[in-house]
Amino acid sequence: MRITIFGATGLLGKALIREWKADEVVGLDSKDADIRDIAQVRRAIANTRPDWIINAAAYTDVDGCETNQGLAFAVNWRGAVNVAQVAKEFGARLLFISTDYVFDGLSTTPYEPDHPRGPRSVYGRSKARAEEEINSISPDACIVRTSWLFGIGGKCFPETILKLASLRSDIDVVDDQRGSPTHAPDLARAVIALCHAYAKGIVHATNSGECSWFEFAREIVRCAGLKTQIHPTTSDKFVRPAERPKYSVLSPASLRHYGIFMPHWKDALRNYLSMREAAETPAASLNSRKP
Ligand SMILES: NC(=O)c1ccc[n+]([C@@H]2O[C@H](COP(=O)([O-])OP(=O)(O)OC[C@H]3O[C@@H](n4cnc5c(N)ncnc54)[C@H](OP(=O)(O)O)[C@@H]3O)[C@@H](O)[C@H]2O)c1
């Protein structure tokens, strides 16, 4: 198959490029095609003629979206709709990456795909609106919601905790938001399998298991063999521009329907730490300087 990926320079996009071996893959960033401009999207798809379009492009700065609402909706809603319209024009299948932040966070059991949306932030609203419109443009599109993405080659929670832990003996982390961390390569493999299965509709894809940010941070520090103490705190002590859902665990049932199982987040974290260490070894940095 021929695959075109928007957002190929992002955390997930890079993992998709690394993991996608079986097909002919073209990765695009915002300089190749700005998804806010439908003419640029049309040109990119005319040049690549894909069987599947993966839209992993987004404005992902959740707090930034609160102050840049125009940009949030231009990229996350209008841009996503542009990609869906062009996919339809060219008869390509579409897989759109979405987020747990489309939910209100009030549930106490894992969210199923048909649970009503109730976003609490501009970022969540821009993605929720995109989902709704993509569904009406192309009911066969596959919308993959994920959460708490981490991986090498980008800004992510484990990276932040490891940096802080190298500087501090104590770190406070919120213990009243629960979700499922998701390692980008695991999600990339699930996305590839979903395309090969011609998946459609909304699918939830995260690493299995759940935790709070505090529990995630404690495990990061423990697995990295660091002595920094992680202390639980509450969201009211860490007021941020965008409200986060208190609970955003996504049920794995829709993914299992396709026979796809993702590893537990603790195993995924260990893989991430090994990959991170390998990327930092002198041999790896020597290789990365080769043309
Ligand atoms: N990160 C998370 O925790 C998380 C959680 C749940 C869901 N998601 C979703 O997962 C997907 C991937 O997220 P990520 O963390 O990998 O994103 P990321 O690292 O922030 O990367 C964003 C990507 O989008 C591209 N992009 C931004 N604006 C664009 C535009 N106007 N036109 C074309 N491309 C544009 C960027 O290209 P440039 O490099 O050229 O700027 C980059 O490749 C997104 O849909 C996001 O909403 C993320």
DSSP secondary structure letters along 11-61: HHHHHHHHH--SSEEEEE-TTT--TTSHHHHHHHHHHH--SEEEE------
Nearest CA to ligand 1 atom 34: 30
Q: Does residue 110's CB lie within 6 angstroms of at least one atom of ligand 1?
A: no
Residue 115, token pair as written in the block:
């649970």
Q: Does residue 60's CB lie within 6 angstroms of at least one atom of ligand 1?
A: yes
Half-sphere exposure of 227 (CA within 13 A, CB side): 2
Nearest CA to ligand 1 atom 17: 10
Percent of the chain at pLDDT exceeding 70: 97
Ligand 1 centre from 148 Cα, in Å? 13
Nearest CA to ligand 1 atom 31: 34
- Give CA separation, 23 vs 55, 149, 196, in Å: 17, 24, 10
Ligand 1 centre from 256 Cα, in Å? 25
Is 123 a residue of the active site?
A: yes
- Asked whether the predicted pLDDT for residue 290 surpasses 80, the reply is no
Q: What is the pLDDT of residue 24?
A: 98
Nearest Cα to 148, choosing from 49, 247, 236, 29? 247
Residue 247, token pair as written in the block:
């609970």
What's the 3-state SS for 90-103?
A: HCCEEEEEEEHHHC
The CA distance from 156 to 239, in Å, is 19
Q: How far apart are the first and last CA of the chain?
A: 29
- Give CA separation, 121 vs 56, 105, 237, 239, in Å: 19, 11, 19, 14
State the average pLDDT for the chain: 95
- Asked whether the predicted pLDDT for residue 288 surpasses 50, the reply is no
The CA distance from 129 to 119, in Å, is 10
Predicted confidence band of residue 35 (pLDDT cuts 50, 70, 90): very high
The CA distance from 232 to 273, in Å, is 23
Which residues are bridge partners to 201 per DSSP? 142
Rounded to an integer, the average pLDDT of 163-187 is: 97
Rounded to an integer, the average pLDDT of 62-70 is: 98
Rounded to an integer, the average pLDDT of 124-142 is: 97
Rounded to an integer, the average pLDDT of 170-181 is: 97
Of all atoms in ligand 1, which is nearest to the CA of residue 74? 31
Ligand 1 centre from 65 Cα, in Å? 13
Of all atoms in ligand 1, which is nearest to the CA of residue 57? 24
- Within 10 Å of residue 235's Cβ, how many Cβ atoms? 15
**SS3 state at 109:** coil
Rounded to an integer, the average pLDDT of 255-283 is: 93
Q: What is the pLDDT of residue 153?
A: 83
Rounded to an integer, the average pLDDT of 148-153 is: 94
Q: What is the pLDDT of residue 283?
A: 57
**SS3 state at 149:** strand
Write down the H helix ranges in the chain: 11-19, 38-48, 62-67, 69-72, 80-90, 122-137, 157-167, 184-196, 213-223, 253-256, 265-280, 282-288
Ligand 1 centre from 231 Cα, in Å? 31
Pocket test for ligand 1, best of 29, 111, 202 (most atoms within 8 A of CB): 29
Of all atoms in ligand 1, which is nearest to the CA of residue 154? 19
Q: What is the pLDDT of residue 154?
A: 85
**In this structure, which amino acid lies at residue 152?**
I
pLDDT digits (tens, 9 = 90+) for 102-127: 999 999 999 999 999 999 999 999 99
Predicted confidence band of residue 282 (pLDDT cuts 50, 70, 90): low
